[in-house]
Structure 1
Amino acid sequence: MRKTNIVPWSEEWASEFEKEAGLLKQIFQDNVIDIHHIGSTSIKTIGYAKPIIDILIAVHDISRVDRLNTSMLELGYEAKGENGIPGRRFFQKGGDHRTHHVHVFQEGDNQINFHLDFKRYLLQHPKQAARYKQKKLELANQYPDAHHRYQEGKQELVSELAQLATQWAEEIRTLRDQ
C-alpha cells in the first residue's frame, strides 16, 4: 500500500520538470505541440505537494503515442493507457515511489484547458490555494498509511476548485474575445 508523502514546495521541481521535458521532447519529436508542468509541484501558492512531477503533453495525433511505449519504458516509464480518462495516454515513473506522471492529450481535448486553468487559478488565487494546502496537510496527517483515503478525502475540494477555475478561465476568455 502506498504511503501519503506530502512535502514542502521546492524550487527544484521546476528544474526537474525542465530536464524531463527535454527528454520527452526527444521521444515525442514532431508530434509534440507543447509540454506543461502541472499539478501541485507546479503551484507554489499551495506550498505542499506529493513530490511527483506531473507533466502534460499536447500532441497532434494521440494515436501515434502508443508506438512510443518502448521508448518511454527505456526512460523508466510504465505505460498505463487511458487510465480512467478517455482520450488520454498516461505514463508513470518510479513504481511505488513515483517521481513523474505524464498525461498526454491530443490538441483540442478539453482536459488540456482543465489542467492549465486549475494551475493558473490557484496561482492567481492564493486564498483558494491555502484552502487546498490545509486540506492536503489534514488528510496527510489523518491517512499517512492509506494514500487512497487521502486521495478520496480531497476530491470534493478539488472538484469545487476545478469548477471555480473553469468559471474564472471562461470569464477571462470571454473578456479577451470581446
Structure 2
Amino acid sequence: MRKVEVVPHQKEWIALYHSEARKLKQVFGDEMVESYHIGSTAIESIYAKPVIDILIEAKNIERIDLYDYEMEQLGYVAKGENGIAGRRFFMKGGDDRTHHLHVFESENPEIQRHLLFRDFMNAHPEEAKKYSDLKRELAREFPKEIDEYIAGKHDFIQNIDEKAQSWINRNTE
C-alpha cells in the first residue's frame, strides 16, 4: 500500500527530471518531440509527493506502445491510457514511486493544460501556497488512501485550470 506523503520542495527535483529526460530521449529517440517537467515537483516552493512527473510530447501516440520493453529496462511499468484517453502512462518505483511519465501526441490539449497549470502556479505564489496547504492537509487526512487524496485535489485543480486559462488569454491578447 502506498503511503501518501508530501515533503517540502527539494532543489534536486529539477536535476532528477533532467537526468531522467535524457534517458527517455535515448529510449524514444526521434519519436519524442519534447519533454517537460510537470506536476508539483515542478512548482517552486510547494510541498509535493516526491515523485517526478514528466510529460513527453510524441509524434505518434500509437508508436509509444512499441517501447514498453525498453521502458521496463529503465524500471518503468506501462499502464496504457490509465484513465485518460490518448495518453500513455508509465510508473517507476513500485509502491515507492520515483517517476510518473505521461505521454501525449503533439497537439493533444492535455499538454497545454499541464504546462499552463505549472506556469500559472509558478507565477502566482499565493495560489501555489494554497495548493501546498491543501496537499498537506489531504496527506494528513488520508495517509493511506491515495484515491481520496487525489479526489480531494480535484476541485482545486479544476479551479486553477480555469484561472490559468484566463491568465494566458489576458497575456496573449
When normalised by structure 1's length, the TM-score is 0.94
Structure 1: which 5+ runs fail to align? none
The residue that corresponds to 1:137 in the other structure is 136
Equivalent residue, structure 1, for 2:91: 92
**Superposed counterparts of 1:89-168, under 5 Å:** 89-168=88-167
Q: Distance in 2 between matches of 1:24 and 1:154?
A: 29
Counterpart of 1:140, as a letter, is: A
Superposed CA offset, 1:77-123 (max 9, x none):
00001111111111000111110000001110000000000000000
Q: Does 1:58 align with 2:57?
A: yes
CA distance in 1, matches of 2:54, 2:30: 18
CA separation in 1, counterparts of 2:64 and 2:155?
A: 32
SS in 2 for 1:8: coil
Distance 1:127 1:136 in 2: 14
Instruction: Tell me the TM-score normalised to structure 2 length.
Output: 0.96
Deviates more, 1:157-166 or 1:105-114: 157-166
1:19-63 Cα shifts (integer Å, max 9, x gaps): 000000000101111100000001014x20000000000011111
Q: What is the match of residue 170 of structure 1?
A: 169
1: CA distance, partners of 2:39 / 2:49: 9
Within 5 Å, give how 1:34-49 maps onto structure 2. Answer: 34-45=34-45, 47-49=46-48
Instruction: Provide the C-alpha distance between the structure 2 equivalents of 1:132 and 1:88, rounded to a whole number of angstroms.
Output: 25
- Counterpart-to-counterpart distance in 2, 1:22 and 1:69: 17
Counterpart for residue 33 of structure 1 = 33
> Once the 2 structures are TM-superposed, how far is the Cα of residue 171 of structure 1 from its aligned partner?
2.7
Deviations 1:129-157, CA, capped at 9 Å, x for gaps: 11101111111111112222111112111
CA distance in 2, matches of 1:40, 1:12: 13
- Identity rate, percent: 45
1:82 matched to which residue of 2?
Answer: 81
Aligned match of 2:9: 9
Q: Which residue number in structure 2 is paired with residue 23 of structure 1?
A: 23
Partners of 1:172 and 1:62 in 2: CA distance = 31
Q: CA deviation at 1:172?
A: 2.4
Q: Give ranges in structure 2 of 5+ residues lacking alignment.
A: none
What RMSD over aligned residues (CA atoms) do the two structures have, in Å?
1.0
For residue 164 of structure 1, report the CA deviation from its aligned partner: 1.0
Q: What code does the residue aligned with 2:25 have? A: K
- How many Å apart are 1:167 and its aligned residue? 2.0
CA distance in 1, matches of 2:150, 2:166: 24
C-alpha separation in 2, matches of 1:147 and 1:72: 25
The residue identity in structure 2 corresponding to 1:31 is: E
Bigger shift: residues 105-114 or 157-166: 157-166
